Amino acid sequence: MDDRMVVALLRHGMTGANKKGAYCGWTNPQLCKEGVKQLKAIKHIPDYELIVASDLMRTKETAGILFPGKCLLPMSEFRELHFGEWEGKNHFELEKDSYYQEWLTSPFTVQPPEGESFGQFTERIEEGFSQLQNKMLADHRKSAALVTHGGVIRYLLMTYAPEEKNFWEWKIPFGSGYQLEWSLNSFGGGNRCTLLRAVPLTENQRG
């Protein structure tokens, strides 16, 4: 891969909680049957030298399906936002809660009760991504796949994609992802990548 440094960001497969529309941050459901079937239909995933995932079941299961037989490095830094008291509940169960409505209006400044602020969320992602980049450089790895969650991927794309978009503009369906590429000299230090492309998924679907 010459002097390119590549990091792919892949969202986990669907869970039963996702099908319900529940807030699923640090709760730990397994993939549902539909999610497993969708992942097994994915073709043409590139080979990556390092496979990393959040330490939750749904991402580790996804990594095992997409990269069978590969050694997996779990990192808690790449968990989804912790929704606190709202974990496992969906919008319809919460819509009469005035504080929840306040959070919907200002999700980047209002913190879920007993949960995690957006600032805390992004700080740990930045720490994890720095660790990942440093490990790749130290181990002379040119490519890595990070299997994680929708919110984590949106933040990393907002921060590192060559085209600037806000958090909600990035759409990441289950099992889809993007590949970010840097030159070796620009890798690390908070630099935006120089090339972004969808990772090939199924024969008739692109992420």
Active-site positions read 12, 80
Please check if 159 is assigned to a binding site.
no
Please check if 13 is assigned to a binding site.
yes
Please check if 12 is assigned to a binding site.
yes
Please check if 58 is assigned to a binding site.
yes
Please check if 150 is assigned to a binding site.
no
Strand arrangement of the beta sheet that strand 195-198 belongs to: 72-74, 50-53, 143-148, 4-11, 177-183, 195-198
Place of tokens 């792919």: 8
Please check if 15 is assigned to a binding site.
yes
Judge whether 178 and 42 are in contact, CB under 8 Å: no
Q: What is the dihedral of CA 92, 207, 28, 99, to 10 degrees?
A: -30
According to DSSP, residue 188 is labeled S
On the CB side of 68, CA atoms within 13 Å amount to 4
Please check if 16 is assigned to a binding site.
yes
d(CA 15, CA 184): 37
Feature table: binding site: 11-18, 58
Please give the annotated binding residues for substrate, written as ranges. Answer: 11-18, 58
